[in-house]
Amino acid sequence: MSPMHRRQFLTFAAGTTGAVALAGVLSACGGGSAGQDSTSGSTDDAGTTALISIGNSEGDPANLDTGMQNTFANLSTVGSACHAYLLYLGADGSLEGDLATGFESESDTRIRFDLREGVTFHNGRAMTAQDVVDSFERLMNPDGGSPYAALLSPIETIEVVDDLTVAFTLNRPYAPLTALCSQIPIIPIETADQQATAPVGAGPFQFSAWETDNYMAFTRFEDYYNQDYPKVEEIRFLPRADATALRSGFQAAETNAIAGFAWPEMEALGALPGATVGTSYINGFNFISFNCRVAPFDDVRVRKAFSLALDRELMAQAENGPDASPAHVLIAATSPYFPADLQAPFDPTEARALLAEAGIPEGFEVEALIPDLPLLRPLEPVWQSLMADVGITLTTRLLPPADYVARVFTNFDFSLGIAGDSSAPDPALFLDRYLMTEGANNHMGYSNTELDALLSEASATFDEAARADLYRQAMEIVVEEAPIMPFIQIPVNTAAYEDAAGFTVRPNYLFEVRDAGR
């Protein structure tokens, strides 16, 4: 049981307000995949927190191996607490040293990483340069089923230069590699087979128990390379896919922090004593995409008309409240490559004209697919009403997210739909997958050789200004041809009590947990 629960229960039993969290005596509730008991054995000094629980709207991951399955549900939990990476992505989007202390581009196709000395894995073994090589190669294998395989394909070889140095040789210049390094978990390779159920890494917390649909527990890793972290003895993630369970757990102070609640709750949660609320915008988008293979969306005029009819500001506000700002391009506003002045125009009159020109009759009916996520539900009527304004009858169908992915991304069995995706913060990691003709996520079936050339050149360009210019040109094409229309950067609303201060969501959807607590 969690001490927070115990406190709550004591309040009930004794009728007094338990103000001090009890000691973090924990026993792994049996039956889970990990099983071994762990006791933090710590007692509370005044002002420190033994354990923090984080309610996670993403629910429970199916698989704890973040290298083989990178979902929000496992990145935010295992990815945040258990793993360390070559580079650390800060909440502000900056890349800092993590297991690597630094890197240097020896040429356009060769990068050298200097590794940190004295890093220990949770299984007690010291990290070597070979572990870095093995960790990358595990995910590079094209038959291995890792979602990173395609993104890592520019890597030709990784070699151990010496105990504390590895060098990546690339088959082409590849600018996004460093950003990607903030998301490839470095593991002791002998634990590869157990990563799915009992992950082992070099992160601030070590895995202690996973009871599916109940909680995932991690305890402080005493040999973490940075002795300032973590700040608490134990951290637990509670999967709370149900909005009521997520919110009421925080209101009842059973969780110290939650992520992913709906914006209207912001005010009430922020008013709780000691609670602060905020919104993190991650490096990803909610977007509308078209199946460009089938009529009428094979006609650029129709897509453009749908784009002109889309009031992105209204959509953004429907999703995350009056303060939300819209997105017009698939590059995050915090990115150095963000073309700030490029906007997709909203012009229903022009939209009607284009539809008429394309021969789309008034009252044309089309079915849009939407993944059934509570945060997307308010978008449905807004989008329907915007389309009705230009004479389009939009029927919508909500699908369980897994069904949505299978239909839209695997079978291309759709006309248009709303979806969301994110990446580590380099534009190439998102754009190349979605917009290149051969891109792994190009479910739109969109192909534009000029765009392909721009994107290829951009991912091989290291000069920031030159790269920004290439992405600007690419985004102009996307706005003009509208195979995909982002309308908001994915917002994640968070709330935390003082004992979990410092908890935020980083741009790659990993939680900031090592700094959480007092």
Partner 1 sequence: MTPTDIAPLVPAGASPTGSPQRLWRQLHRNPKTLVGMIILVPIVLVAIFAPWLTPYPYDAIYVGDVLGAPTSEHWLGTDLNGRDLLSRLIIGTRVVVGVPLAVGLLTLVIGVPIGLLAGYLRGVVDGVLMRVVDVFLSFPWLLVALGLAAVLGAGLSTVIVTLVVVYWPQVARVTRNSVMAVSESEYVTAAAAIGEPRSSIVLRYVLRNAYFPILVLLSSMLAFSILNEAGISFLGFGIQSPQTSWGLELAAGSTYLTAAPHLVIFPGLAIVLVVLGMNMFADGLGDLLNRQGRER
Partner 2 sequence: MTIAVLRRLGIGALTLWVVSILVFLIIHHLPGDPISVLLRQYATPETRAALEAYWGLDQPLLDQYVAWMGRLLQGDFGTSITSNLQVSDILAERLPRTMVLMLGGLLIALLIAVPGGMLAASRRGSLADHGLTTGSLVLQAQPEFWIGSLLVLVFGVRLAWFPTSGYVDFADDPLDWLAHSVMPMVTIAVVSAGLLLRTVRASMVTELQQDHVMLARSNGVAGWRIIGLHAGRNALAPTITVVGLQVGILMSGAVITERVFGYPGMGLTLVNSLIARDYPVVQTGILVFAGLFILTNTVVDIVSMWIDPRARAKLQGGR
In which element (H, E) is residue 142 found?
none
How far from 261 is each of 248, 390, 433, 495, CA to CA, in Å?
11, 33, 29, 9
| 397: contact with partner 1 by CB under 8 A | yes
Question: Would you state the structure tokens that stand for residue 405, as one six-digit string?
Answer: 């992915």
Q: Tell me which amino acid residue 349 is.
A: T
List the end-to-end C-alpha distance of the chain, in Å, as a whole number: 22
Closest separation in Å from C-beta 230 to partner 2? 23
Site string for partner 1, 316-355 (x = CB under 8 A): --x-------------------------------------
Length of the chain: 518
Closest separation in Å from C-beta 273 to partner 2? 13
Options 59-67, 77-85, 154-162, 389-397: segment touching partner 1 (CB under 8 A)? 389-397
189 binds, among partner 1, partner 2, none (CB under 5 to 8 A by kind): none
Closest separation in Å from C-beta 31 to partner 2? 4
Nearest alpha carbon to residue 347 among 290, 317, 390: 390
Please give the torsion angle defined by the CA atoms of residues 122, 124, 126 and 127, in that order, rounded to the nearest 10 degrees. -20
Among 23, 160, 398, 477, which residue sits at the site for partner 1 (rule: CB under 8 A)? Answer: 398
- Distance from C-alpha of 451 to C-alpha of 143, rounded to nearest angstrom: 29
Work out the angle at residue 423's Cα, subtended by the Cα atoms of residues 94 and 289, and round it to the nearest 5 degrees. Answer: 135
Q: What is the DSSP string of 470-492?
A: HHHHHHHHHHHH-SEEEEEEEEE
Q: Considering beta carbons, is residue 15 or 322 the nearer one to partner 1?
A: 322
Q: Considering beta carbons, is residue 193 or 323 the nearer one to partner 2?
A: 193
Please give the torsion angle defined by the CA atoms of residues 16, 21, 23 and 26, in that order, rounded to the nearest 10 degrees. 100
Q: Considering beta carbons, is residue 128 or 251 the nearer one to partner 1?
A: 251
Closest separation in Å from C-beta 240 to partner 1? 12
58 binds, among partner 1, partner 2, none (CB under 5 to 8 A by kind): none
Closest separation in Å from C-beta 11 to partner 2? 6
- Distance from C-alpha of 478 to C-alpha of 454, rounded to nearest angstrom: 12
Among 110, 112, 377, 433, which residue sits at the site for partner 1 (rule: CB under 8 A)? Answer: 377
Q: Considering beta carbons, is residue 247 or 301 the nearer one to partner 1?
A: 247
Closest separation in Å from C-beta 462 to partner 2? 27
Q: Considering beta carbons, is residue 247 or 506 the nearer one to partner 1?
A: 247
Where helices occur in 100-203 by DSSP H, the ranges are 129-140, 177-180
340 binds, among partner 2, partner 1, none (CB under 5 to 8 A by kind): none
Residue with the two structure tokens 């030159």: 466
Q: Considering beta carbons, is residue 157 or 385 the nearer one to partner 1?
A: 385
Task: Show the 3-state SS of 311-355.
Answer: CHHHHHHHHHCCCCCCCCCCCCCCCCCCCCCCCCCCCHHHHHHHH
Closest separation in Å from C-beta 248 to partner 2? 4
Chain contacts with partner 2 (rule: CB under 8 A): 1-2, 5-6, 8-9, 11-13, 27, 29-33, 59-60, 62-63, 69, 71, 142-147, 149-150, 196-197, 211-215, 238-242, 244-245, 248-249, 251-252, 254, 400, 402-403, 405-407, 409-411, 421, 440-441, 443
Q: Considering beta carbons, is residue 399 or 477 the nearer one to partner 1?
A: 399
Closest separation in Å from C-beta 357 to partner 2? 34
Q: Tell me which amino acid residue 505 is.
A: V
Show the beta-strand stretches assigned E in 212-334.
215-220, 234-239, 257-259, 275-290
CB 152 within 8 A of CB 53: no
Closest separation in Å from C-beta 243 to partner 1? 4
Question: Would you state the structure tokens that stand for residue 123, as one six-digit string?
Answer: 């299984």
Q: Is 409 exposed, middle or buried (0-12, 13-18, 19+ CB in 10 A)?
A: middle
| 384: contact with partner 1 by CB under 8 A | yes
Q: Considering beta carbons, is residue 161 or 402 the nearer one to partner 2?
A: 402
Closest separation in Å from C-beta 1 to partner 2? 4
Region for residue 145 given its phi and psi (left: phi exceeds 0; alpha: psi -120 to 50; beta: otherwise)? left
346 binds, among partner 2, partner 1, none (CB under 5 to 8 A by kind): none
Closest separation in Å from C-beta 64 to partner 2? 9
Nearest alpha carbon to residue 237 among 372, 422, 64, 8: 64
| 59: contact with partner 1 by CB under 8 A | no
232-271 residues near partner 1, rule: CB under 8 A:
243-244, 247-248, 251, 262, 264-265, 267-268
Q: Considering beta carbons, is residue 470 or 496 the nearer one to partner 1?
A: 496
Per DSSP, the three-state class of 463 is coil
Q: Considering beta carbons, is residue 97 or 401 the nearer one to partner 2?
A: 401
Q: Considering beta carbons, is residue 257 or 387 the nearer one to partner 1?
A: 387
| 374: contact with partner 1 by CB under 8 A | yes
Q: Is 205 exposed, middle or buried (0-12, 13-18, 19+ CB in 10 A)?
A: buried
63 binds, among partner 2, partner 1, none (CB under 5 to 8 A by kind): partner 2
Number of residues that bind partner 1 (CB under 8 A): 27
Enumerate binding residues for partner 1 (CB under 8 A).
243-244, 247-248, 251, 262, 264-265, 267-268, 318, 372, 374, 377-378, 380-382, 384-385, 395-400, 403
